[in-house]
C-alpha cells in the first residue's frame, strides 16, 4: 500500500454503555482500460446513531481524490479519476453504533402529520414504481392495522414470496419487475418493500451499508426504512442480516441515489470484498 497511509484504527474514545463497535475493511478492485471517473459511496455514515472512531481511505495508485457530503443526508461520496491499469480502493473504519430500541407499537402517521422532510419519500422513483402497485399494495396489506406490524407484514410477505436468486436481476430491474418475476437480490427486496410502503402512504427509503451474513459472498447490503413513530425504522426482507448491526453508509430514495460505485469510463470490476467484523461491546 504505497500511497496514503491508512490510519491506525484505534477507538478514539471510550464507547458509551451498550454501544457496539464494528471494524470495516473494504477493498474494491477494478481493471481500468482508459481514464475513468469513479464516484464511490463507501464511507460509513457519521451521525448520532453511529460514530466514526477512526477511518482511512487509500488507493493502490497515486491519484488525487475528493470527498464531499450529500447536503441533506450527510453521506460522503468519494470522487476519483483512475488511469488505465489496475485500480484498487481500500477503506477502513472503526464505527461505534448506538443500540436501536425497536418499538413494535410504532404507529404510522397520516400524511398531514408527516414532517416536510420525509414527504418526498412518498413519491415513486426509478426503481420503486409505487404508482403502478397501488391496488396490489391495498389488496395485500390494506386491511391490516396500520403501524409497525403492517410494515413487518410487508417485509414478511416479500421474504416469503420473492426468491433470493443471484443473477435473476440486473442494474435496470425495478420493483414492478420483481413483483412479477418473484425473484431478486437484497436491493430488489428492499425496493419492493419501499414500493409497497409508499403505495400505502408510508414514507420509505433505501438504506445501504456493511452487514455480516453467513452464506452469500461478501457484498454491500441493502435494506429499507419506513417512517414509523416519528423516526426511520429498518426492515430487512431478506432476513439475512441483523438490521440493528448494519453499519450504514447512506440512505436514499432508491439505489440510484446510493450506489456504492458509479463509473464513467471503461472499467471492469475484478473483486469486491466489503468486510465487517464486530469487535465487541467495549466495557467501561
Of residues 10 and 180, the one with the C-beta less far from a second copy: 180
Residue 138 CB, shortest distance to a second copy, in Å, is 8
CA distances from 55 to 46, 175, 263 (A): 11, 35, 24
DSSP state of 119: G
**Least distance in angstroms from the C-beta of 236 to a second copy:** 21
Q: Which lies closer to a second copy via its Cβ, residue 22 or residue 260?
A: 260
CA pair distance 243, 277, nearest whole angstrom: 15
**Residue numbers of the site for a second copy (CB under 8 A)?**
37, 39, 66, 68, 71-72, 77, 79, 81, 110-112, 116-117, 119-120, 122-126, 129, 131-133, 135-136, 139, 161, 163, 171-172, 176, 179-183, 201, 256-257, 262, 264
Question: Which residue, 116 or 215, has its beta carbon nearer to a second copy?
Answer: 116
For residues 199 and 228, which CB has a smaller minimum distance to a second copy in the complex?
Answer: 199
Choice between 98 and 256, CB closer to a second copy: 256
- 160 burial via Cβ count (<10 Å: 0-12, 13-18, 19+): exposed
CB of 243 or CB of 257, closer to a second copy:
257
State the sign of the Cα–Cα–Cα–Cα dihedral 119, 123, 128, 133.
Answer: positive
List CB contacts of 166: < 8 A, sequence separation 6 or more.
Answer: 185, 216
Cell representation of residue 106: 410504532
Q: Give the residue ranges of DSSP H helices in 117-255.
A: 134-141, 148-161, 175-181, 186-199
Q: For residues 72 and 18, give the distance between their C-alpha atoms in angstroms, rounded to a whole number.
A: 29
CB of 276 to a second copy, least distance (A): 27
Minimum CB distance to a second copy, residue 197 (Å): 14
> Least CB distance from residue 192 to a second copy, whole Å?
12
Q: How far is the CB of 174 from a second copy (least distance, A)?
A: 9
Q: Which CB sits closer to a second copy, 136 or 272? A: 136
**Nearest-approach distance from CB 146 to a second copy, in angstroms:** 14
Taking the C-alpha atoms of residue 26 and residue 37, their distance in angstroms, rounded to an integer, is 19
CA–CA distance from 96 to each of 21, 24, 29, 30 (Å)?
4, 11, 27, 30
In 3D space, the residue among 206, 224, 212, 180 whose CA is nearest the CA of residue 75 turns out to be 206
Amino acid at each position: 500500500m504505497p500511497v496514503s497511509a491508512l490510519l491506525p484504527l484505534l477507538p478514539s474514545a471510550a464507547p458509551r454503555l451498550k454501544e457496539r463497535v464494528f471494524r470495516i475493511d473494504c477493498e474494491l478492485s477494478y481493471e481500468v482500460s482508459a481514464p475513468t471517473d469513479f464516484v464511490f459511496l463507501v464511507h460509513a455514515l457519521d451521525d448520532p446513531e453511529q460514530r466514526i472512531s477512526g477511518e482511512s481511505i487509500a488507493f493502490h495508485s497515486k491519484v488525487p481524490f475528493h470527498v464531499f457530503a450529500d447536503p441533506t443526508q450527510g453521506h460522503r461520496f468519494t470522487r476519483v479519476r483512475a488511469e488505465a491499469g489496475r485500480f484498487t480502493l481500500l477503506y477502513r473504519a472503526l464505527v461505534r453504533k448506538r443500540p436501536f430500541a425497536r418499538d413494535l407499537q410504532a404507529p404510522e402517521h397520516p400524511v398531514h402529520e408527516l414532517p416536510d422532510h420525509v414527504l418526498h419519500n412518498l413519491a415513486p422513483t426509478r426503481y420503486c414504481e409505487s404508482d403502478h402497485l397501488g391496488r396490489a399494495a391495498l389488496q395485500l396489506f390494506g386491511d391490516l392495522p396500520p403501524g409497525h406490524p403492517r410494515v413487518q407484514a410487508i417485509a414478511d410477505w416479500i421474504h416469503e414470496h420473492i426468491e433470493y436468486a443471484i443473477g435473476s436481476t440486473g442494474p435496470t430491474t425495478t420493483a414492478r419487475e420483481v413483483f412479477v418475476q418473484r425473484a431478486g437480490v437484497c436491493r430488489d427486496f428492499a425496493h419492493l418493500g419501499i414500493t409497497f410502503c409508499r403505495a400505502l402512504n408510508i414514507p420509505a427509503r433505501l438504506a445501504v451499508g456493511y452487514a455480516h451474513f453467513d452464506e452469500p459472498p461478501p457484498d454491500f447490503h441493502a435494506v429499507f426504512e419506513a417512517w414509523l413513530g416519528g423516526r426511520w425504522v429498518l426492515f430487512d426482507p431478506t432476513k439475512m442480516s441483523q438490521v440493528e448491526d448494519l453499519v450504514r453508509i447512506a440512505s436514499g430514495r432508491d439505489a440510484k441515489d446510493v450506489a456504492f460505485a458509479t463509473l464513467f469510463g471503461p472499467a471492469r470490476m475484478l473483486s469486491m470484498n466489503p468486510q465487517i467484523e464486530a469487535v465487541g461491546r467495549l466495557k467501561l
